[in-house]
Structure 1
């Protein structure tokens, strides 16, 4: 995996403005912002896997909430599958069930279908407050 591969396949217009390993906030909103963040995380995760000393489980929360461009959704899921879900390490990947059809190797993953949130709103807010203060 090279940074250029990520730039080409993800197709974010903002990636050209970001220096690799320059950890700054990505400004803006919308799917282009999501694609930019996803590309950065894909590259960094692969570097940790390929060159890191330690083995870590990775987690990716759903990066697609209400995207209407199905072509963009298809590309981003293909890249996640290619660069992250193909890793032989423990990966937690959360997405809405309707997006599972964008994964071509779904039968090789252990899928857990949640019918309700794992945390009550009160517990979520308490944990969020702890994380945000550190």
Structure 2
């Protein structure tokens, strides 16, 4: 069989973290999607998934402090884009992490429309990407 039968995707490598604080998850709203997501973003060429996560958290939540030693790698998942995404041939490769927030002394970044803490119960009915609600329940 030839390669012509295989789908052609543009792969987007992303890193994100479920951040939890006293039994609640910190979720954010960005300007690209009208829903709640975990903080994170694209991995730049030459960056490791962890380095990208640290950079993205610093950009989105300046001053955020995590409990030392609490960052855990959870795994990798693939996901096609939402129907309204600009590149219909995209495929996302997510590197998922979790960490505990040491305190809420971070500042709001213009990269985000907003952020909030949610209990696992409060995530029911929120507009979130597939699998995000399960990720919240697993972490808190």
What is the TM-score when the length of structure 1 is the normalising length? 0.25
| Structure having greater relative contact order (Cα 8 Å, sep ≥ 6) | 2
Structure having the larger proportion of residues in helix = 1
